Chains A and B, each alone.
Chain A
Amino acid sequence: MRELAQLALDEAVAAGASYADARAVLDETESLSVQDQRVEGVGRQASRGVGVRVLVDGSWGFAGTARLDREAVLSAARTAVAVARASATAQRRAVRLAPVDVATGTYVTPHDTDPLDVALEDKLELLLAATAAAASVDGLTFAKASQDTWKSTKWFVSSEGADLHQTLLQIGGGVECVAVGEHEVQTRSFPNSFRGYCGTGGWEDIVALDLAAQAPRYAEEAVALLTAPELPSHTGTLVLDGSQVALQVHESVGHPLELDRVLRYEAAFAGTSWVGLDDVGRLRYGSPLVNFTLDTTTPKGMGTYGYDDEGTPAGRHPLVVDGVLCDFLTSRETAPAVSDDTRSNGTMRADSWGTIPLIRMTNIHLEPGEGTLDELLSDTGDGIYMATNRSWSIDDRRLNFQFGCEVAYEITGGRLGRLYRNPTYAGRTPQFWGSCDAIAGRDAWVVYGTPNCGKGQPTQVARVAHGAAPTRFRNVEMGVR
């Protein structure tokens, strides 16, 4: 495969590219889904291809092909150059790339056992045991369990001399308990919604979830939600579990700090950002407790790798420190917009050989505070605790948001009390993070995967992650009707 990438690179340069890079990628995926004791689907996919990205006269071109014969790869390279020449006819400013330390090397996701090497029967047995355990709960309508593996082996070469080989292993698994009533459908998911846990690692991480042991508690909660009251509409104190904080970070911090959004590259689709280039060092993003970090080295993080898809090495970069903005998520093309000295912080990823790399969230964390969840609740007095995302929506500048969660509990006298169903909350980004007055500590801090982040045209789906702990916000609108 590496030879094919080199072939494409050489042809692109020969055809006139002033810069070119090529990725040869083999993506192997496996998806297992069961509902109760029925296997809903077992599927394996393999996708191989070569993508070549070129700059000609300061304009981009890209072509990708799944045909791996020599002529098809050469043709793709020439097509990329032709595409770039067409781009130049509607170009105002030439693209300028920030320098990068040219890298050569390899990276493999740390893991013990590749799930693709585990017998299919063993994987199905684990899932069927989880749904059987859930089904033991009276009143549950059905339970689903799933396990996913995404293995990407890629070779990257560039006209600057980069030569990289990476094998990234991403895994997921979880159980979903569904209770159906006359006018209600209630779901409780473990350990997270949208197919559960996800991260980089191996089969051992799926086994460690112990889905069968956890499932009954979540099944019981799903059944109880059918008869729980709706969360009343009110404004008050809200404590979010770490998984919901993770999605809050995703939507209201990660996306608006993508520099391509700030520069309006995504304006016609995902939107722009409420944050401007001049806000660095000045904008108060949240309360002084709030620290956000980009870290592509976080163990088990879905966005952890050796190098991004432009060849920039992984690293750790603060984005917001003590509540004040200090950086964006950048690429080689966008970094010079910040300053002539700014370099990419390595967030460019493509979701296949056939798509171009875009700025993606990788791992964006809310840094932990202090104490346990129990201590946080005890300190809260009265409020609402919400857990596990159910729905999400935010405007095209990432200001006005509304989230729904699977479950809420009243906090009364510092303890969890009555159960509520269909909880929602809403707010605006800077006011919401400005109202943050407590974050639980390192022991409660978990890296949560988000496997379905859409961006770009043609739309790409990225798997990213956010470290977060239970967090408290004041004066929040809840129970949106």
Chain B
Amino acid sequence: MTGGSALVGRAALERLADAGLDAAADDGVAGVEVMLQRDAGGLTRVANSQVIQNVWREDLAVSVRVVTDDARVGVAGVHTDDPAAVADAARNAVAIARVSPPDPDFPGIAPAAEVGEVYVDETTVAASPDDRAAVVRALLAEVDDAWEAAGTVATGGAELGVFTSAGQAAYAPRSAAGLTVLVMGPSSSGWAEGGGRALSDVDPAAAGRRAVAKAAAGRDPVDVDAGSWAVVLEPPAVASLAAYLGYVCFNGRSFIEDRSFASGRLGETVVDPCITLVDDARSRDAVGWPVDAEGTPTRAVDLIRDGRLAGVTHDRYTARQAGTESTGHALPAPNTWGPLPLFPLFAPGGGTIDDLVGGLDRGLLVTRVHYTNVVHPKQTRLTGMTRDGTFLVEQGRVVGAVRNLRFTQSAIDALAGAEAVSAETGWGDELFGGGGRQPALRLRAFSFTSTTSFG
């Protein structure tokens, strides 16, 4: 079927990598790393209850990093499936390295190491535009004409290869699917999302019904005052909290440079013991890779364990500076961000999301948040808006919808007041990172600093 895809396989990537490794070796460098990422997939976008955009793309990005005997490093990349172009990129990388100052802290190229596997769903890799259209129709069937629907259905497959002159020869395929649904009415909107490593992980009809139910419950929202509220954050809101906390607090580079809240505090109990946060790219509940951009196998890293700051993520560079080992969190070179935890997942606790709401005497139920950003990185202070379903809870029951509010809140302080974590999980995604299943959280105090005029 035109528009579907298939994995090209290890041999195809290795053939290209060999062209880069050979070309750089001919130029006499001390180490070579060739990273290749092939992506092929489609995304169907809905607005005004119809398909408005529908795209398919295949790409193969190749990046060659070389290091000379005197620790000069160069990187060059090209998007191609032509071995000659990869060889040219390798020669470019060598030329860049030759004129770059030495970096005596460069940790060298990754050695051979066994890489595990992640679940790959061939049906999702091969999904066609018609398959995505069928999902869209199933979703729209749940949204009657009283409402307007928007959202996306995405499917695709990808392959990552990292081949080094030090003996690493890593290849990993991956599949991913995602679904978002926004339902809008005159005074409210509702949200649902799903995702995973297989298209069968998403249920478009259930998502459509959930979004409609949220929008219906959100009709005619009222104002509540800004201030400190007890909250239950549903999984999409928790995903934002996790992503930004990971970014500002658990990046090995900012940790070393003393720019992180965690700097000098590993081992301290800083949040409620009901909180455990683990970055796990390989999880079936996330869509990450089993290997990083340097060829190091990806490890699950405890960031917070039972309320205690437990660890940060490293690539080979920060690991050497910290006197430890890479956790397999390198981003593609040249990387000025440092090693980011892209799949921080809160460990589930007990009960359902409704159970968490049932334990709320008076507070707010937050479906998701919008445009979160960092106000103060070292204090983990974030700001953002609630969106697509914010509800007032009294004596354990949702009693009505409220207009959106802006939060300005330290993530660590919020988790210090964590009261409960649900066993029930749902999919949540953020602008960066790849999304994953998160529980809901009940937090004793969450600071809202202003309101807006719609729900």
Contact = CB atoms under 8 A, between A and B. Distances in A.
B96 A264 contact: no
Contact of A83 (B55, B77, B101, B376): B55
Given A64-B57, A124-B100, A180-B257, A86 B129 contact: yes
Contacts of B408: 402, 480-481
Contacts of B58: 64-67
Interface string A284-298: 000000000000000
B417 interface: no
B47 A43 contact: no
Interface string A35-64: 001111111111111010000000111111
Contacts of B48: 92-93, 263-265
Contacts of B222: none
A33 B81 CA distance: 28
B75 A66 contact: no
A121 interface: yes
B50 A93 contact: yes
Interface in A104-157: 119-121, 124, 128, 141-142, 144, 146
A426 B408 CA distance: 11
A89 interface: yes
Contacts, number: 265
A44 B60 CA distance: 16
A102 interface: no
Looking at chain A's contact residues, the main secondary structure is mixed
Contacts of B406: 393, 395, 400, 402, 426
B55 A63 contact: yes
Contacts of B371: 393-396
A91 B140 CA distance: 11
B103 A267 contact: no
B374 interface: yes
B45 A79 contact: no
B385 A42 contact: no
Nearest to B453: A399
Interface in B356-406: 370-379, 383-385, 387, 404, 406
Interface of B: 1-3, 42-61, 63, 73-81, 89, 92, 96, 99-101, 103, 105, 128-130, 132-133, 136-137, 140, 148, 150-152, 154, 180-182, 184, 257-259, 333-336, 370-379, 383-385, 387, 404, 406, 408, 431, 447, 449-454
Given A42-B75, A395-B452, 8 more contacts: A37-B101, A64-B57, A92-B48, A268-B180, A391-B374, A422-B376, A457-B154, A480-B449
19 contacts: A43-B63, A45-B79, A64-B55, A64-B57, A64-B59, A65-B58, A79-B3, A79-B56, A83-B55, A86-B129, A86-B133, A90-B133, A355-B55, A395-B385, A396-B370, A397-B452, A404-B375, A426-B449, A426-B450
Interface of A: 31, 33, 37-49, 51, 59-67, 75, 78-80, 82-87, 89-93, 119-121, 124, 128, 141-142, 144, 146, 178, 180, 183-185, 263-269, 271, 354-356, 391-397, 399-400, 402, 404, 422, 424, 426, 428, 454, 457-459, 477, 480-481
